[in-house]
Amino acid sequence: MRQLFLLSFDERSDMMVRRTIGLIDGLGYRIRFRTSGSDRYTLIENDMEVVPPAEAGTEVRPEGIGPLQRSLHPLEVRPKQAINPMMLSNSDAELLEHLEEPVTTGDLVLFLCDVFSRESHVLAFTLSERAMAKQALSLCLLHRDDVPLRFDSLDELNKDYLRFNVHFNGVVGLSPLVSGGGVYVELANLVRHLAHFSFRPGLVNLDQADLLVTSKGGTVLVMTYGSERPGGNPAATSAMDALENPLCDVDLTSVRKALVSIIGNDSLSVEDSLVAAEVLKKRIRNDARIIWGVTVVPDPEQEMEVFLVLATTPMELLTHWYSRGV
């Protein structure tokens, strides 16, 4: 059975994991999550949390699901630290061995990382590389605090994003409007779509290999989703809903590659995917590469949904956020 892993190694990411996990524990997949301060996973299987008695109390289940009010953090100087795997202590090495053990081929391993918590990066980098060696898909959902970007920090942040790109199969840039604003419903739906994308075969199949092609070349990924709206073509309205989602905080004219995944019931057609792809094509670069796919779900009540993966460069994404004052 393939598994979904959701991990964090810093305190800011811990809250995001705890809030998100409470919204995705009905996915139907085996889920293992871990936050900093714990040396083991909490296992959720078949909608039930399974914690051996000796391990009870090592993880706190999320409470009070819902958006948190956006908080302001004072701008501060963050000391830079070199990232070197040789810096691992014996306890860190033992922790990584424990976390690596249950990862198997085809698993989806998601890391939530604060770009400024540099002291935790070496653990995330090392575990990601071990997961990739086992042929699991390792993605970093990279976020930062909600203090507006300064122009003189763009170049340094661009280097940070590129460094992350080396250690993961792909890096997903989370807008501060989502990560800092506490929009955990959007984040949970993003994780849900990623799990379905990785584990559920399609009529016109998209898989992890397509995602790897899209994430190559020093790119950063922006992932978003949308559902059909009344009063229009379902595929077109789903694509428009995805582009207007808070997750889609990117200059569309900078998008160089894209995946378009259409999900629906038995009434879904290949033509629907072409309509959704055409809606996206008109808004991104003329020379952008688009890969599309179709997944049919055996549920007559399944509404049409669109999952988009957009690839741009870290500097173009950061410049877009800077221009918006986020």
d(CA 127, CA 113): 13
* pLDDT at residue number 230: 87
Q: Say whether 13 sits in a helix, a strand or coil.
A: helix
d(CA 52, CA 179): 32
Q: What is the mean pLDDT of residues 178-191?
A: 88
**Do 222 and 188 reside in the same domain of the chain?**
no
Q: What is the residue type of 226?
A: G
Q: What is the mean pLDDT of the chain?
A: 85
* pLDDT at residue number 322: 94
The β-bridge partners of 294 are 204, 262
CA dihedral of residues 235, 241, 243, 248 (deg, nearest 10): -130
Of 199, 230, 260, the position where a domain reaches its end is: 199
The β-bridge partners of 33 are 6, 42
Q: What is the mean pLDDT of residues 109-129?
A: 95
pLDDT at 174 over 80: yes
CATH number at residue 38: 3.40.50.1440
Of 199, 216, 232, the position where a domain reaches its end is: 199
pLDDT at 160 over 90: yes
**Does residue 172 belong to any structural domain of this protein?**
yes
- CB-neighbour burial class of residue 50 (10 A; exposed 0-12, middle 13-18, buried 19+): exposed
Q: pLDDT digits over 203-253, tens only?
A: 778 888 899 999 998 999 999 999 999 888 899 999 999 999 999 999 999
Alpha carbon 145 to chain centroid distance? 17
**Do 133 and 182 reside in the same domain of the chain?**
yes
**Do 226 and 165 reside in the same domain of the chain?**
no
**Do 138 and 222 reside in the same domain of the chain?**
no
Q: What is the mean pLDDT of residues 51-61?
A: 34
**Do 177 and 41 reside in the same domain of the chain?**
yes
**Do 30 and 179 reside in the same domain of the chain?**
yes
Q: Are strands 30-34 and 3-8 parallel, antiparallel or unpaired?
A: parallel
Q: Are strands 305-312 and 137-143 parallel, antiparallel or unpaired?
A: unpaired
Q: What is the DSSP string of 229-262?
A: -SSS-HHHHHHHHHHTSTT--S-GGG--EEEEEE
Domain range for 195:
3-50+90-199
**Do 162 and 44 reside in the same domain of the chain?**
yes
d(CA 139, CA 112): 9
Q: Name which residue leads in pLDDT, 298 or 242.
A: 242
Q: What is the mean pLDDT of residues 35-44?
A: 92
Q: Name which residue leads in pLDDT, 244 or 296.
A: 244
Q: What is the mean pLDDT of residues 78-96?
A: 67
Least confident residue range of 87-91, 108-112, 168-172:
87-91
**Does residue 247 belong to any structural domain of this protein?**
yes
Cα distance between the two ends of the chain: 40
**Do 166 and 255 reside in the same domain of the chain?**
no
Q: pLDDT digits over 282-291, tens only?
A: 999 999 999 9
Of 199, 217, 234, the position where a domain reaches its end is: 199
Q: Name which residue leads in pLDDT, 226 or 26.
A: 226
Q: pTM for this structure?
A: 0.86
Percentage of the chain modeled with pLDDT above 70: 87
d(CA 242, CA 107): 26
**Does residue 26 belong to any structural domain of this protein?**
yes
* pLDDT at residue number 178: 85
